Each structure stands twice: as C-alpha cells, then as structure tokens.
C-alpha cells in the first residue's frame, strides 16, 4: 500500500529580497510544503528564474503583485519590511491561514515598546499579544499551538541561543554585554552608504550603538527566562562579508559556579538538538547555508564568555521560519532543512 500525504500550500509575500529569496530556495526542495505564490510589487510579471537565476530549473513561479483573495493557502510567510506585516496579518488569520512573520512587527508583544523602538504605532495589538515568539529550541510548545509566529531577528537568535542555558539555570548575574558582528546581507538589498563596498569592504564598523531594535527583543526573552529585569548592552558591527554572524557575550557567574557547571547546562539544553551545535569556538563558515547555530563558551575567572555563530539568512531568518512552520504543521522539524553548512 502506497503512503500518500497532502502537500501544505504556501505563499511568500515580499519574496524579492534576500530573506524572501532564501525562503524560495529552501521551499523549492521541501518535501511537504509546496510554494504556490510569491509576491513582489517591483517584480510583478517577472519569472523567478529571471530574478533569482540560482532557482532556474527548481521553480517556474512568476511574481505577482499581491496575494489572490480567492486562493486557499495553509501558511503564508511574510518577508515584508517592519510596519508592513501588520497590514497583512489580520486578513490572513481571518481566512484561516497560518502566518510566519519574519519582520519585527509581532516580536515584542507590547505595542508601547514597539512604538518606542520602531517609531510607529502598532495597528494590530490584539494579534501582537497572541503571537508565539518563534525561537524554536526554547518555545516549541507555544509554536506548535500557534497560528501566528513572530520569527526572531538574526541577532537575537544568535545572542539568545548562545546565552540561554546560563539564564535558564540561574548561573549568571548583573549586566550582560553582547558584542555582535554580521555580514552586509543583514541590512537588505537596498544600497546604503554604510554598506557600499568601498566603505565597508576593509573595515569592521559598529552601528546603532545603544539604540538597535534588537536590544528590547533580546531583553524580552532574557526577562521571560528569568522572571527578572535583565540589563542588556548590545552593540552590533558590520563585517566585510556577505552572510554570517558571530556574537561574543560576557556575563558574571554567580559565586561557586564552575566551568563544569556551565558545561553541564549547555549539554542538558542542546545535547540532543538538531540545529544547535556545541563547539569550542563557533565558526561562521561552518554555518553558512545551513539552519545551524553553533554555540560555545569559555570561563575566565568569574566571567563566562558565550559565543554563537549562524547564517543570518538561514537560522537567523528563512531557515528558522521553515523550522517553525514544520512544527506548526506537526512535521519532522528537520523537513527541508537537513543539510550541512558550506564550510568555506
């Protein structure tokens, strides 16, 4: 008797950017999710093979201006800019469609905090409060029962996963300092002076020091894990590479905590995880192209140095979004994602 299953119908809104194209790449080979529609106002009428030559032979879709009202989808991925996703979510949910939002619109849970950091009033606060925060390894149960998942930012994913065992097990205290570095693809396709190659190609540049929008997102999760008000100092830097991210964080260990204690909590939380790999020194090349976050640590006196590396477009965005969709539809979490990093 041949086993058959129903394919899950998906669409990507805003598919012409780096994150959208990465979603299209991953979904083009997913065994259970069928990418039916991709939208882009600026590329409407253009074939995906023209816009994304790397997908020639893997997809024959054509960009459309907007999602058809009469089509039934099981899940829609929103690869839209901040403040745009909230315009789509209410209608999609009313149609019974599950949503994975890759923007920052539903991550923070609090419309007041959102307005402060994004300088824009949130127009859908009711759905904001019901959205599951999609950091898969920490909040699987919430994701499994959700119809709206707020996919985390790339910096928060790397920072939080590298530090979470310490917070969950109450091993650290005081201020947390996060030094984070990311490739230029993290800022999107639009050319800016700071990402113009002559300005960034031979430099490592800090930016948005003290006011980056991922700061409250990181703090929100640490507060949730501990029940305390955690003081987070987060400084991002631009690396002269296209994709990849490295975070190095510093925290004070509580009295009596040893390196053996730290080792034990990392092994306990991540020892059986498919997409978090414990290593002595995380390396960006090991994660590029893969849905993997490498984490590592070292204890220096009473300070723990926690490190993380990932591909900001995969585990930091599109790959984690697919991982969350797999959970939402009760599939194997690794479906469509079980491939290694490039290594170079």
**Which residues are designated catalytic?**
154
| CB within 8 Å of 108: residues ≥ 6 apart | 114, 117, 128, 216, 217, 220
Residue 215: other Cβ atoms inside 10 A: 21
Structure-block tokens of residue 134: 């999609």
Query: Is residue 134 within 8 Å of 107, Cβ to Cβ?
Result: no
Q: Which residues of 80-109 are buried (b: 16+ CB within 10 A; e: fewer)?
A: bebbebbebbeebbeeebbbbbbbbbbbbb
| CB within 8 Å of 340: residues ≥ 6 apart | 289, 290, 292
- The H or E element spanning position 9 is strand 8-13
Q: Give backbone dihedrals phi and psi of 227, rounded to 5 degrees, phi first.
A: 75, 10
Is 110 strand, coil or helix? Answer: coil
State the Cα torsion 32-93-18-136 to the nearest 10°.
-60
Report the candidate in 340, 204, 199, 219 with the shortest Cα–Cα distance to residue 283: 340
What CA–CA distance (Å, rounded) separates 116 from 263? Answer: 38
Report the candidate in 61, 59, 22 with the shortest Cα–Cα distance to residue 38: 61
What CA–CA distance (Å, rounded) separates 125 from 141? Answer: 22
Report the candidate in 35, 115, 118, 44 with the shortest Cα–Cα distance to residue 81: 118
- DSSP assignment of 282-296 equals --HHHHTTSS-EEEE
């Amino acid at each position: 008797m041949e086993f058959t299953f129903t394919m899950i119908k998906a669409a990507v809104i805003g598919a012409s950017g780096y994150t959208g194209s990465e979603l299209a790449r991953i979904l083009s080979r997913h065994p259970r999710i069928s990418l039916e529609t991709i939208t882009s106002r600026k590329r409407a009428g253009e074939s995906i093979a023209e816009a994304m030559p790397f997908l020639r032979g893997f997809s024959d879709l054509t960009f459309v201006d907007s999602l058809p009202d009469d089509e039934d989808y099981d899940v829609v991925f929103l690869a839209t800019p901040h403040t745009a996703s909230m315009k789509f979510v209410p209608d999609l949910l009313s149609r019974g469609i599950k949503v994975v939002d890759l923007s920052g619109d539903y991550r923070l849970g609090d419309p007041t905090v959102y307005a402060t950091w994004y300088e824009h009033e949130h127009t859908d606060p009711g759905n904001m409060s019901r959205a599951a925060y999609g950091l898969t390894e920490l909040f699987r149960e919430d994701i499994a029962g959700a119809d709206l998942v707020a996919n985390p930012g790339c910096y928060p994913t790397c920072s939080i996963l590298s530090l979470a065992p310490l917070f969950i097990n109450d091993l650290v205290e005081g201020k947390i300092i996060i030094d984070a570095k990311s490739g230029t693809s993290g800022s999107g396709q639009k050319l800016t002076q700071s990402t113009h190659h002559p300005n960034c190609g031979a430099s490592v540049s800090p930016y948005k020091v003290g006011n980056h929008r991922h700061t409250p997102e990181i703090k929100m999760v640490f507060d949730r894990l501990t029940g305390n008000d955690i003081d987070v100092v987060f400084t991002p830097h631009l690396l002269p590479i296209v994709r990849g991210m490295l975070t190095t964080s510093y925290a004070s260990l509580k009295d009596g905590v040893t390196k053996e204690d730290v080792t034990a909590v990392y092994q306990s939380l991540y020892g059986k995880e498919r997409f978090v790999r414990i290593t002595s020194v995380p390396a960006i090349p090991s994660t590029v192209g893969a849905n993997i976050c490498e984490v590592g640590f070292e204890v220096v006196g009473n300070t723990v140095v926690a490190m993380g590396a990932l591909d900001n477009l995969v585990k930091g965005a599109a790959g984690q979004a697919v991982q969350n969709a797999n959970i939402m539809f009760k599939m194997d979490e690794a479906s469509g994602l079980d491939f290694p990093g490039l290594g170079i």
